[in-house]
Structure 1
Amino acid sequence: MLASLEPTKLKALSEKKTLKAFQRAALKVPAYEQFLKEHNAPVSSIKTIEDFKKLVPLLDKDKTFKLYTDNIKKLCVDSEINNIHEIVSSSGHSGLFSYSLINKKESAMSQDTIDFMLDYIFNVGGKKTLLINCLPMGVKIHSSLVTIADTSVRPDIVISAIKTFAASYEQIILIGENSFVKKCLEDGAESGIEWKKLKMHIVLGEEMLPENLRTYFCDILGVDPDQPDSKSLIGSSLGVAEFGLNIFYETKELIRIRRLLQRDRKFREALIKADPDNLPSLMQYNPLRFFVEESPKERGLSDIVLTNLQEEAVIPLVRYNIKDEGICVSFKHLKDTLAAFNYADYTPRVRLPLAAVWGRDKITLEEGFALRPEFVKELLYKEKTIAENITGNFKLSNSKAGLRIEIQTKKTTPLSEQLENHIRDVLITNIPAKAEIIIYPYRDFPHGMELNYEKKFQYI
């Protein structure tokens, strides 16, 4: 259905569902009704999407889950917590936990959505598929089309499962966080897995995927991500606990476009405009499930704002600022910009709206500009000789000497003057700021050693 609809019709349907979702929340959710009264929002006067954008105030974690930690029922439709099938928690990365409550009907619909996406991207309906879920915190993936192995963040189990079952399946989908998947691939190769002989797909979540890390993974698997008929996909997906998994996602076509954005700065500036020094993820979303907006900030950037359009939502969040920086990109703008730069053959077949997402963390330096961890990641993963010797964990902070970058090397990496000098040279050459770079042996790294992949690493 989505593939056949014109973008203008999709937009109109999405806006209609948005107004309906707003009215439902305003009438049935006590906390939201109170919030609208406090902000003098004229509920009965909001008839159009323009009214909605202009008159409905924004929500965020502080105005919802922080305020109602001891009385979460007030965030629920009719103040009821009944027939709940799942409670999904956020990572607590911000210092505050938030939740989605999923009833049985919504859970079944979520499974249908995941099945559709898995079949659309990986053809799981036509291929016997093993999905290895190594997401942390007990995050579950429900599907009726694949065999699921829940390993959590145990690389030894992941490697054992692949060795034991790979021959029994036509393809394997590995879902996890960047640094953990990196460890699994590297440890697996050391233990004798010949990755290039397997039909592997990787879906990465929890944080933004550096394009150079994708290239590093592709080298391990023997994949060419710039070819549309590539045998495997190494892509990323962005979920938000309050809304569910896989809100924004990459396809093979969008991966090729993102790599084009990396190579062609003028094309990137024309399509994205904001923050041209940092490469965002370019992802599609279903506008019949979520209404996506921008909350403008400085320097042409915005925060992503979501409205849940699912009629069964127990906590129907409206205009909720997820605090990830990004911008909306219409299919028309993408198509027109590709054509203007003679890249028309890159145009995606499915005409869904998109978002360019950078993430949320930045550190402001003495020189007056903000540095994203993703910028440093791109530098560290650009060369294989560096990428294969680090865990992916590093810490950014300000010191008397300027920007301090502390980097953790792998357990198996013996520190050498040559490696240290090479890492320093790559960073200092490309970061326009005074920098103090400290490279630690694995066990001497002083940050986050207790995490063991269960929590998001704090890069700043």
Structure 2
Amino acid sequence: MNGAETPLTAGERAALRTFRRAALTSRGYRAHLERLGVDHRLVTRLSQVPYTDKRSVFGDHIEFWLDGGRVSDAAELLTSSGATGLFSVGVTSRSERRAQERTFDLLLRSLGGSEDSPTLILNCLPMGIAIPTRLATVATPSVHLEMALELLGRAGAGFDRVVIAAEPLFLKELGERALRERGPGFADGVAACFVGGEWVAESWRRHVSQLFGFTDGSPARTGVLVSMGAAEVGLHVLHETPALRAARQALDGPLARRALLGDDPGYTPSLLAWDPNRLYVEERPREDGTSSLVLTALTRRLLPLVRYDLEDEAQILSADAVNAALAETGAEVRLDRPVVALWGRHGSAVTCDGWSLRPELVKEGLFANAAHAGALTGRFRIAAEEGLPALHVQLREGAQPGPGMEPALRHMASAAAGAPARVGVHGYREYPFHEAGDFQHKPAYVGRRTS
């Protein structure tokens, strides 16, 4: 070893083992290395290993990349939403499926679930996403609101707790409709809601927590937690804990963000943990000065993932750095390990003529006013129109905009962009960017108006 080199960490050694195994067992990965002129036999540091991403892995036939090359060995296949224009594919072996069951059942046990204390999981995730568990009963209404409400009301009382898994806008609509139709006690048996599929604003969490009554302080009710996954990587890959949620909430302000980051980007990132036995996590520096999240799977997978760039903007923050900022706020919570600070999708901002507008800033502002949050679905579109920032929002079905909504949204969008913004408030069925009632497809927050 060169005297100037630092010793390999345990995580880097494990990631290099994944790299060498993939180079030997995956024809697609080996061809990828050859195209880039990398001889896997000469690699001694992870920094010598090229990144992979959705385009490099899923541009070929899927079997070409598999460890052993047999897609028929999979227990489950799952595609991504295709929102980026390219579908990724999750390929889960039977042994991976069993490992996922163990992981998820440990999570349920942390919520009080056991063989003697039954749990109902209400799986409201779209696209046929399955939740692996042996411990709980799973109901799968997917994104059918009436079915989800019926199962929650009719079956939920037969269990000690209900856990809901959903994407944010569906969970918001579920809570708002249930509160209107069934009253404030509709969620008394709901112990926790896990949300993912897109970046989640803290203002959204406050709104939805009030809908579900998670503000009552009951120790039996964990509340709303963020869980991040991807089709090709799996469910619950990065996740929030109650301590991380408390840390994010304590840091959700300009002074706290400056203490942690040195400046204030206007919103607070999600703070997420990971299992270091399952994943090696890195930052990939980008030309614009940001960094994106890179994962290497440390356990053997049918589809190897080596330095796989999820294209989410992120930083890895040390526990010491976060704890120092928390101490300045007076918060009592402390972290004992590094965390991923997730800012949203890399490159998602609309930029034009000296101004820039990020969808995450709009999400934070959209739900900050409780009266407006209840009247909007949460779908919106930001764009540059005649050189100015433009924000289009969708009203909930039957909702009418109050007299202060448009001025408030215009002020919010103008402040976020740093330039005078235009605002369009559209009826539920008149919104031109997303089919009314469609929860299968993710909202397209960025683009130009086409109709």
Normalised TM-score (structure 2): 0.90
Aligned counterpart, 1:287: 276
Alignment of 1:316 with 2:304, yes or no, is yes
2:108 counterpart letter in structure 1 = L
1:352, distance to aligned residue in structure 2 (A): 3.9
From 14, 18, 21, the equivalent of 1:17 is: 14
Q: Does 1:31 align with 2:19?
A: no
Residue in 1 aligned with 2:449? none
Deviation at 1:238, TM superposition (A): 0.6
Q: Provide, for residues 142-170 of structure 1, a one-character-per-residue CA deviation record: whole Å limited to 9, x for no partner.
A: 11111110011001011111110222122
Cα distance in 2, alignment partners of residues 430 and 377 from structure 1: 11
Length, aligned pairs only? 436
Please say if 1:296 is aligned against 2:293.
no
- State how 1:50-449 maps to structure 2 within 5 Å: 51-53=45-47, 55-66=48-59, 68=60, 71-120=61-110, 122-125=111-114, 127-193=117-183, 194-195=185-186, 197-224=188-215, 229=219, 231-263=221-253, 265-273=254-262, 276-298=265-287, 300-311=289-300, 313-339=301-327, 341=328, 343=330, 345-348=332-335, 351-360=336-345, 362-400=348-386, 402-429=388-415, 431-449=417-435
Q: Distance in 2 between matches of 1:81 and 1:223?
A: 43
Task: Name the % identity.
Answer: 28
SS at 2:75's partner residue? Answer: strand
**1:292-338 superposed Cα distances (whole Å, 9 cap, x missing partner):** 11111245420111111112x01101111111110112334334443
Deviations for 1:82-129, whole angstroms, at most 9, x for unmatched residues? 421101111101100111211111111111111112223x22227422
User: Higher mean Cα deviation, 81-90 or 296-305?
Assistant: 296-305
Secondary structure (helix, strand or coil) at the match of 2:108 reads helix
Would you identify which runs of 4 or more consecutive aligned residues in structure 1 move more than 6 Å? Answer: none
Describe the SS at the equivalent of 1:24. helix
CA contact under 8 A between 1:130 and 1:149: conserved in structure 2?
Answer: yes
Q: C-alpha separation between the residues in 2 aligned to 1:218 and 1:282? A: 18
Letter of the structure 1 residue corresponding to residue 306 of structure 2: V
**1:283: how far off?**
0.4
Quick one: structure 1 residues 445 and 25, their matched pair in 2 at CA, closer, same or farther if it must change by over 3 Å? same
d(CA) in 1 for partners of 2:430, 2:436: 13
Q: Kindly tell me: are residues 416 and 353 of structure 1, through their superposed partners in 2, closer, same or farther at Cα, counting changes over 3 Å?
A: closer
Amino acid at match of 1:309: L
Distance 1:406 1:337, change over 3 A: closer
Distance across 2 between alignment mates of 1:170 and 1:373: 38
Contact 1:325 1:358 in 2 (8 A): yes
Q: 1:450 to 1:423 in 2, by over 3 A?
A: closer
Give per-residue Cα distances to partners, 1:377-407, cap 9 Å, x unaligned: 1111001110000011111111116111111
Following the alignment from structure 2 to structure 1, what is the Cα–Cα distance between the partners of residues 421 and 177?
Answer: 32
Which residue is 2:40 aligned to? 43
Counterparts of 2:29 and 2:187, CA distance in 1: 52
RMSD: 2.3
Displacement of 1:450 after TM fit? 5.9
1:273, distance to aligned residue in structure 2 (A): 4.8
- Contact 1:287–1:353, Cα closer than 8 Å, also in 2: no
Aligned-residue offset at 1:228: 9.8
1:254-288 per-residue CA deviation (whole Å, 9 max, x = no partner) reads: 1111111113x333234345773232111000111
Output the CA distance in 1 between the equivalents of 2:387 and 2:34: 50
1:343-399: CA deviation from partner (whole Å, max 9, x where unpaired): 473114xx4431011121523333434322111111110011100000111111111
1:375 is paired with a residue of what secondary structure? helix
Q: Which amino acid aligns with 2:348?
A: K
Distance 1:411 1:338 in 2: 41
> Secondary structure of 2:332's match?
helix
Gaps of 5+ in 1: 1-10
- Structure 2: unaligned runs, 5 residues or longer: 1-7, 447-451
CA separation in 2, counterparts of 1:140 and 1:127?
22
- Corresponding letter in the other structure for 2:364: E
Q: Which amino acid aligns with 2:260?
A: L
Contact 1:281 / 1:358 at 8 angstroms: preserved in 2?
yes
What amino acid is aligned across from residue 91 of structure 1 in structure 2?
S
Change (3 A) 1:60 1:41: same
What SS does structure 1 have at the residue aligned with 2:24? helix
2:272, 2:338 → 1: CA distance? 9
- Match of 1:452, SS state, is coil
* One-letter code aligned to 1:208: W
CA distance in 2, matches of 1:108, 1:174: 21
